[in-house]
Every structure is written in structure tokens, then in C-alpha cells.
Amino acid sequence: MRALGWLFFAFLLLYLILPMLAPVVYSFSRMWLDVLPEGFTLDWYARIARDPRYVEAGLLSLRIALMAVAINILVGVPTAYAAYTWAGRAGEGLRRLLQVLPLLVPPLVVGLGFLLAFNRPPLSLSGTLWIVVLGHAALGFPFFFRTVYAGLAGLEVGLLMEAARASGAGLWARLRYVLVPNLVPAVLSGSLVAFAISMGEFEITSMVAGFGTITLPLLLFQSLREDFRAASAVAAVLLYVTLLALLGLTFLRRR
């Protein structure tokens, strides 16, 4: 039975990892006609590095991701602290709602909601960069919120804040010397997750972005018809970003 269990685990691992590794292997190969690829090359990475379309799309995706992370920090940290300190059934209901509800709504529904909500004055943001940023921030918010809330609960920041207040520390001193230093690891972890999600987001972006907002995932989709090799290199780059975020999370947790 143990051997059967290990065999099932290996099959499951292969089933999950193989689709992610295929673009990486393809991006380094000269051709792939049989079971195994042939040759090794960096030409496809050099091609996307020389093409201004991919460079501009990559920089735009990076800019949108950073702006979405900034919005999550400004909104998510106070929301997580309010949910943490709100006692009773109302507080518990708010915590469960913020943690679960956004994950249950498909990204296509979120994109359609943003398209309808920001399509008329005075919130005419349709087709602009800002609606893409807000959509990415909304998609990454539940992951950011869960991480920050777990940091609050694990460190018992509420007790530390109460002890600081009892010692005579004012509100600003409690926020500066107690809350912020203890929340930095959780905020950084949540920011890395939200950043990785934003860099690879396609569904919401394809619905709300204007013609002048071409992110790297959108350009990747267009490249599938033009240059499959370059598209594989772009997909590999997005996977590298996710792996770097995962390594950053691992490092923060060990620290």
C-alpha cells in the first residue's frame, strides 16, 4: 500500500508540475518534435528582450502590480486590523466574508462588475489604466488580507497594543512602535502574493483594459498566434516571477 501511495503521489506531482515546466523547457530548446526537446538556446529570451513590445508590456505589468500592491497595503492593513479587533459575531462574520467571498467569485464576474460599475460618470474609468489597477487590487486583496490577518492573530498584536496603551503610549506611538514593526513580515508576505497574482492576471485585464493597456499576459496571448517560441519564453518569465515570490515568502517565514 505504501508503494501504491508513493506512485499515486508521484503521478499527481507530475500532473501538476509538467504543464508548468513545459513552457520553460520549450523556451530553452531549438526544436521539440519528439518526446524530448532538441538543442539548447537562449535565442527566444533574446528575442523578447530586443522586442520593444515585450519590454513595454513587461514594464507596464510591473507598474500595475506595484500600484495594486500599494492599494492593498493602504486598504488591507486597516481592514485586517479592524476585523481583528472587532469582537462578537459581527466581527467573525466580517472576517469570514473578507477571506472567503472574493475567492468564490470568478474573475470574469469581477471583470464584468468593474466594467459596469466604472462605465458612467462620475466614475468613468473604463479603458483606463486605473480600472486595471483596481481590478488587480481586488483580485489580490483576499490573499493579502488573509496573510496580514494571520500575522495579527499569530503575534497577538491586540494584547501588545493594549499593554502599550496601559504603559502610557499614545495612539501614534502604539502604531509606530508596536503595530507597524510587528506587521512588516506579514505585509511583505501578502505583498509578494498580490504582486505575483497581478503579474500573471489575464481574465480581468482582458475585459477592462483599453487598447493602449497591453500587459505581459495579454501580449502573451496575442503571441500564441504569431510566435509560439517567444510566447513560451514570456510564460517562463511569468513563472520565474511566481517562483521568486515563493522564495521570498519562504525566506520571510524562516526569518
Using one digit for the tens of pLDDT, what is the confidence trace for 22-40?
788 888 887 766 656 677 8
| H-only helix segments in the chain | 2-28, 43-50, 52-85, 88-104, 107-117, 129-155, 157-166, 171-174, 180-199, 203-208, 216-226, 228-254
Given a cut of 70, whether residue 154 has pLDDT beyond it is yes
The predicted model gives 57-68 an average pLDDT of 93
In this structure, what C-alpha cell is assigned to residue 132? 486595471
pLDDT at position 64 = 94
Q: Residues near 240 by Cβ (< 8 Å), separated by ≥ 6? A: none
Contacts of 84 (CB under 8 A, 6+ apart): 95, 149, 152, 153, 157, 158
Is residue 205 within 8 A of residue 217, CB to CB? The reply is yes
Is the pLDDT at 135 greater than 70? The verdict is yes
Find cell 498566434 and name the residue: 225
The single-letter code of the amino acid at 75 is V
pLDDT(149) > 80? yes
| Res 87: pLDDT | 65
Q: Flag whether pLDDT at 77 surpasses 80.
A: yes
- Cell 487590487 sits on residue: 137
- Give 86's pLDDT tier (boundaries 50, 70, 90): confident
pLDDT digits (tens, 9 = 90+) for 96-107: 777 776 677 788
Bridge-partner residues for 38, per DSSP? 31
Percent of the chain scoring above 70 in pLDDT: 93
Q: Which residue has the higher pLDDT, 157 or 42?
A: 42
pTM, two decimal places: 0.84
- What average pLDDT does range 84-94 have in this prediction? 73
Main-chain phi, psi angles of 27, to 5 degrees: -70, -20
pLDDT band at 1 (very low <50, low <70, confident <90, very high): low
Q: What is the pLDDT of residue 88?
A: 66
Instruction: With beta carbons less than 8 A apart as the criterion, state whether 80 and 235 touch.
Output: no
Burial 177-215 (b: 16+ CB within 10 A, else e): ebbeebbebbbbbbbbbbbbbbbbbebbbebbbeeebbb
- pLDDT confidence of residue 173: 78
**pLDDT reported for residue 136:** 92
| C-alpha pair distances (Å), 191 with each of 136, 142, 143, 187, 205 | 12, 11, 9, 6, 19
Give the C-alpha separation, 243 to 45, whole Å. 18
Task: Give 38's DSSP letter.
Answer: B
Q: Using the Cα atoms of residue 37, residue 45, residue 47 and residue 22 in order, give the sign of their dihedral.
A: positive
All three cell numbers of 235, joined, read: 510564460
CA 208 from centroid of its chain's CA atoms: 18
Given pLDDT bands bounded at 50, 70 and 90, which one contains residue 63?
very high
Amino acid (one-letter) located at 155:
L
What sign does the CA torsion over 50, 53, 59, 61 have?
negative
Mean pLDDT of the chain: 82
Q: Is the pLDDT of residue 14 over 70?
A: yes
> pLDDT tens across 217-255, in order?
888 888 877 777 788 888 888 888 888 888 887 777 676
pLDDT in the model for residue 35? 59
pLDDT for position 114:
84
